């Protein structure tokens, strides 16, 4: 878990009593969404250098940008749990109002790979996207 506390990836692990909490930053909303996905990927897979072998298209609509970010992470969680898909990168990312579209690149979990955490849910607990001088920041709690 020590490795997950690094802040140089656009996200960092925060202390939380019972769950997992990440603080995520991005210069743009698109960057915030990508960094959130990278943080999530580190929670559900072993860190490793690998080239993408899988691709998925994600199209989402929501009422707010906060909802959109939670839905994005829930979609990645669904792909991870049902197909063993692990996010590596996203291309052609478009956020317009409360709609999101991206081509998602990833890999499959190895059969012997044990996830660092068993994420049960992405929550709204204390979650809001804030605009800063550097871009955007949010905190997300994952139920484990």
Paired strand residues for 90: 104
Instruction: Give the largest CA-CA distance in the chain.
Output: 43
The predicted-structure confidence for 56-85, as pLDDT tens digits, reads as follows 999 999 999 999 999 999 999 999 999 999
CATH architecture of the domain covering 2-143? 3-Layer(bab) Sandwich (3.55)
Sign of the torsion formed by the C-alpha atoms of 22, 23, 28 and 31: negative
For residues 75 and 19, the answer to whether their CB atoms sit within 8 Å is no
Count of H-run helices and E-run strands, the chain: 2, 8
pLDDT value, residue 114: 86
At residue 30 the predicted structure's pLDDT band, cuts being 50, 70 and 90, is: very high
pLDDT value, residue 83: 94
What are 70's two structure tokens?
A: 């939670």
pLDDT value, residue 2: 40
pLDDT value, residue 17: 65
CB proximity list for 17: less than 8 A, separation 6 or greater: none
The predicted-structure confidence for 88-138, as pLDDT tens digits, reads as follows 999 999 999 999 999 999 999 988 888 888 899 999 988 999 999 999 999
For residues 1 and 13, the answer to whether their CB atoms sit within 8 Å is yes
């Amino acid at each position: 878990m020590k490795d997950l506390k690094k802040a140089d990836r656009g996200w960092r692990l925060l202390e939380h009593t019972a769950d997992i909490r990440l603080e995520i930053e991005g210069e743009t909303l698109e960057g915030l969404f990508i960094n959130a996905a990278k943080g999530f990927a580190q929670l559900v897979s072993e860190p490793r250098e690998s080239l993408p072998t899988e691709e998925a298209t994600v199209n989402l609509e929501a009422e707010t940008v906060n909802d959109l970010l939670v839905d994005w992470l829930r979609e990645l969680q669904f792909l991870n749990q049902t197909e063993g898909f692990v996010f590596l990168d996203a291309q052609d990312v478009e956020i317009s109002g409360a709609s999101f579209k991206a081509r998602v690149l990833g890999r499959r979990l190895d059969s012997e790979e044990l996830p660092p955490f068993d994420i049960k849910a992405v929550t709204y607990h204390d979650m809001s996207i804030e605009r800063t001088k550097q871009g955007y920041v949010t905190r997300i709690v994952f139920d484990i």
